[in-house]
Amino acid sequence: MVEKSRTLVLTRGFVLGALLAVGALLTAVGAAQQTPSAASIQVDKVRDNLYVLRGGGPSGNTAAFITAKGVTLVDTKLPGWGRPILEKLKEITEKPVTTIINTHTHFDHVGGNPEFPATVEVVAHENTAALMKEMRPVTGGPAQPDVFKGGTGPGLPKRTFKDRLTLGTGPERIELRYFGRAHTGGDAWIIFPALRAMHTGDAFGTKIVPIIDANNGGSGVEYPKTLARAAALTNIDTLIGGHSATTLTMADLKTYGEFIGEFVQTVQAAKKAGKTIDDVVNTWKVSERFLKEGYVTPEAYEKLARQPMSARVRANAEVIWSETK
């Protein structure tokens, strides 16, 4: 009995610790860990039938696309936030959730999946579907909780795609695209063509140094190339970032690709010049150009993530270093 409750306490302590750490890593909002509740979710209307549900944790941004048959959600926040999302949706629509699209495998984006009815169809990129069964640790970050019970629990994707998938028709059409490795190895880009809007997941979370999660298939060298392919899309003018507090633009996406491209080049040049990862970490700074565009400064990053930005820069430099011959 004592042994049992002790295990429970340890497990809860571990999960909470992991939540705090990964939340701090993945988010740019950086609020303290919240108790799940509908009241803590903010609803922003992007279009008449497209909303962003912000907050929750710190969690990823959830999009809600209202169609005649029901609601398609993009991402479901941290574990425990699925039911609050359902409750909050009642303020917007009486329609049921029919579909969940997950942008990638991180648990601040897929954590609420198991709390939705089994009738809800879950869709993801094929690599993400495979990774969700494992919930591997995040590169440079902590372990992820086993949201899907080793790949046997509810809420896993049953429908997957490789390069593209179309859901719905006419004004309710949704396009899922894969442009290559970036934040993870299964980043889906979710386009609402009639609304000229796109959810970018954490491939473009917000204007901050990204996590390059090589352990979940992410790539530093491929990251800017992947963003350039996404930025070449036309007929889109509004972006919902994985963690951004406001909507973003295609110009922001292009700039973000250049921001990461510049970092990749810096790391590769250092390696070729016989320098070390320490040299990169000690000398790299967010360029003036990007600071002017509202990029998160090291000081702001430290406040949000409760760790120096150099820790993420080091993790990213190590990924790019190992990818560079």
Total chain residues near Zn ion (CB under 5 A): 2
Q: Is 196 in contact with 236 (CB distance < 8 Å)?
A: yes
Name the segment binding Zn ion (CB under 5 A); options: 104-112, 114-122, 129-137, 149-157.
Answer: 104-112
| Residues 46-75 interacting with Zn ion (rule: CB under 5 A) | none
Binding mask 197-236 for Zn ion (x = CB under 5 A): -----x----------------------------------
Name the segment binding Zn ion (CB under 5 A); options: 30-38, 105-113, 191-199, 283-291.
Answer: 105-113
Instruction: Work out how close the CB of 58 gets to Zn ion at its nearest, in angstroms, rounded to a whole number.
Output: 12
Q: Of 106 and 125, which CB lies nearer to Zn ion in the complex structure?
A: 106
Instruction: Work out how close the CB of 272 gets to Zn ion at its nearest, in angstroms, rounded to a whole number.
Output: 30
Instruction: Work out how close the CB of 118 gets to Zn ion at its nearest, in angstroms, rounded to a whole number.
Output: 26
Name the segment binding Zn ion (CB under 5 A); options: 103-111, 125-133, 252-260, 297-305.
Answer: 103-111
Q: Of 54 and 106, which CB lies nearer to Zn ion in the complex structure?
A: 106
| Residues 277-316 interacting with Zn ion (rule: CB under 5 A) | none
Q: Of 109 and 271, which CB lies nearer to Zn ion in the complex structure?
A: 109
Q: Of 222 and 271, which CB lies nearer to Zn ion in the complex structure?
A: 222
Instruction: Work out how close the CB of 296 gets to Zn ion at its nearest, in angstroms, rounded to a whole number.
Output: 16
Other CB atoms within 10 A of residue 3 CB: 7
Instruction: Work out how close the CB of 155 gets to Zn ion at its nearest, in angstroms, rounded to a whole number.
Output: 17
Name the segment binding Zn ion (CB under 5 A); options: 27-35, 98-106, 141-149, 244-252.
Answer: 98-106
Q: Of 134 and 279, which CB lies nearer to Zn ion in the complex structure?
A: 134
Q: Is 110 in contact with 155 (CB distance < 8 Å)?
A: yes
Q: Compute the distance between CA of residue 106 and CA of residue 293 in angstroms, rounded to an integer.
A: 27
Q: Compute the distance between CA of residue 199 and CA of residue 241 in angstroms, rounded to an integer.
A: 6
Q: Of 88 and 106, which CB lies nearer to Zn ion in the complex structure?
A: 106
Q: Of 99 and 200, which CB lies nearer to Zn ion in the complex structure?
A: 200
Applying CB under 5 A, which of residues 54, 77, 106, 199 lies at the interface with Zn ion?
A: 106
Q: Is 175 in contact with 168 (CB distance < 8 Å)?
A: no
Instruction: Work out how close the CB of 273 gets to Zn ion at its nearest, in angstroms, rounded to a whole number.
Output: 32
Q: Of 88 and 183, which CB lies nearer to Zn ion in the complex structure?
A: 183
Q: Is 139 in contact with 181 (CB distance < 8 Å)?
A: no
Instruction: Work out how close the CB of 31 gets to Zn ion at its nearest, in angstroms, rounded to a whole number.
Output: 17
Instruction: Work out how close the CB of 26 gets to Zn ion at its nearest, in angstroms, rounded to a whole number.
Output: 5
Contacts with Zn ion, residue ranges (CB under 5 A): 106, 202
